[in-house]
Structures are given as C-alpha cells and as structure tokens.
Amino acid sequence: MSFQQALTAHFPNAMPEADFVGRTYQALLKHGFNEPNTIACVSVCRDELTAPLVKKIYQTWGEAFNLSSLAGMLFAGKTGFQAAEGHAPKEGGRQRYTYFALPHIALGAEGEVGLCYRPGRAEASGACGALIAFYQEMVGGQLSLQLNPDDIEQSLLKQHLFRKIKYGQVPDLITLTKLTYQTILEDLERMISLTVDPAGSDYAVLTGIQIHDPDQKDYVWPGTLYVVVNGQRHELSV
C-alpha cells in the first residue's frame, strides 16, 4: 500500500493543509470573519512536526493564541480560554474567535501507520508519540490512570481518552487518533460553553486530523467545521 492509498483508506477527503486553512478562511469571510477582526486559537500536538500547519494559520490569521498540549489535547482550561477570548479584537461591539483543534498522525511511504523519520536520526520515529505511548501501555497491560504530577499532560490525556475505549479492547493507532479527535472536539465545545457568550461573540470550530506524509508534506482530514454567528450555527463545507 502506498502513502496515498493509506491516506484515502483511513482519511477520505483529506486535503493538503494549505487548502484546509485557505478554504476555511474563505468560508469564514462570508460570515464576517477576517484576519484583522478575529483572534485564532490553535491546539495541536507539541511535536515540531505540527509546525507547518501552525505557520499557515499564522500567515492567514495573524499571531494565534496557543492552547496546545500533548496530542493536541485541550488542557488550558477556563483560564486559558478566557485569556484567549479576552485578547480578541472588537469590531462593532463584537468579538470573533476561530478555534483550530487537531490531533496528528504520520503515515509512511508504504502506508505504515504512525511511522515517520526525523532530521538527523536514521532510526524510525513515530507520531503521535503521546498516543503511541498510551497505546503501548495498553498493549503491555501496564496502564496507569492516576494523575502523575511529573507527567501531567500525558496522565490527563490517558484519563480523557480512556473513557472512550471499550473495556478490554485496545484500539489501533488509527482508531485511537480518531477517538482523540472526538475527545478534543467534545472538550473544545465544553470549554466554549463555559467561556463564550454568544450575545457578544461569534466563533468558528475548525477541527480535523493532521496527517504527515514521508516527504514533509502534510494533509488535513476535515472533521466538524462550523461557525456560530449571533447564536446561530452554520455548517462550513470545504
């Protein structure tokens, strides 16, 4: 199986990440969002592999508020969200936020799930490393779900994701990545419900999964995409 075949099989409708950022921007222009009147908030994995997507978001929306944790999980909490929202421009008495939230995964040249190579290292590496570590703990039967003060983000990640996993089953990395996407979406919507007042603010939810190819080109599988303007939800198509 080639990379392209694996991409199509696992993530139908994935597109180059520049298209994802450009098309969502164009879609949001029609709803009154633009670079000067909006703050972008971004949550991706801490892995440097995710940086090209973040740079494209900066180039399109300007500097963004960083909500990122391991695997793109949203652990900034109400304080982090309220800070981001409190930094938004005001235009005509309204504030606008875009929330980009995406976990990531690598696919190898022959479609190997999770495989990537990193500059200066001959041996194979993996992405997302945090999800692979969680997967390996489950496979090894050594899963710890306690909050570890020396490993805060990874232990919170495991606690949040474990609720989605059926008892006795270990999902493969593709399934685990999709469960992570679903968890991030739910956590994002919960944080929005706790911190955003739609009476004075419009916002866009822009979620999906970032996929790294073997040639340093990245793709995005578009997930749930919508905008809320004056309290009314509109789906976005890209």
Helix (H, G, I), strand (E, B) or coil at 53: helix
Query: Which CB sits closer to Zn ion, 57 or 128?
Result: 128
Query: Which CB sits closer to Zn ion, 131 or 191?
Result: 131
- Scan for tokens 């995409």, then name that residue: 225
Query: Which CB sits closer to Zn ion, 157 or 225?
Result: 157
d(C-alpha 238, C-alpha 114), whole Å: 26
Query: Which CB sits closer to Zn ion, 39 or 128?
Result: 128
The count of chain residues that interact with Zn ion, using the rule CB under 5 A, is 3
d(C-alpha 158, C-alpha 166), whole Å: 14
In this chain, which of 42, 57, 67, 128 binds Zn ion, going by CB under 5 A? 128
Determine which helix (DSSP H) or strand (DSSP E) holds 221, and give its type and residue range.
Answer: strand 218-229
d(C-alpha 191, C-alpha 151), whole Å: 23
Interface pattern 74-93 for Zn ion (x via CB under 5 A): --------------------
User: Is residue 45 within the footprint of Zn ion (CB under 5 A)?
Assistant: yes
Stretch of 32-40, 42-50, 171-179, 222-230 lying at the interface with Zn ion (CB under 5 A): 42-50
Closest residue by Cα to residue 14 from 102, 143, 116: 102
Query: Which CB sits closer to Zn ion, 128 or 206?
Result: 128
Shortest gap between Cβ of 71 and Zn ion (angstroms)? 5
Contact 24, 34 (CB under 8 A): no
Closest residue by Cα to residue 43 from 22, 19, 69: 69
User: What is residue 229's DSSP assignment?
Assistant: E
Stretch of 17-25, 43-51, 87-95, 193-201 lying at the interface with Zn ion (CB under 5 A): 43-51
Query: Which CB sits closer to Zn ion, 2 or 136?
Result: 136
Query: Which CB sits closer to Zn ion, 45 or 220?
Result: 45
Closest residue by Cα to residue 101 from 86, 84, 115: 84
| Footprint (CB under 5 A) of Zn ion, residues 163-222 | none
CB within 8 Å of 16: residues ≥ 6 apart: 217, 218, 219, 220
Contact 177, 164 (CB under 8 A): no
Shortest gap between Cβ of 47 and Zn ion (angstroms)? 4
- Tokens standing for 210? 């970032």
Shortest gap between Cβ of 211 and Zn ion (angstroms)? 12
In this chain, which of 47, 85, 202, 218 binds Zn ion, going by CB under 5 A? 47
Phi first, then psi, for residue 55 (nearest 5°) are -65, -40
Shortest gap between Cβ of 126 and Zn ion (angstroms)? 9
Shortest gap between Cβ of 72 and Zn ion (angstroms)? 7
Instruction: Please report, as ranges, the residues that interact with Zn ion according to CB under 5 A.
Output: 45, 47, 128
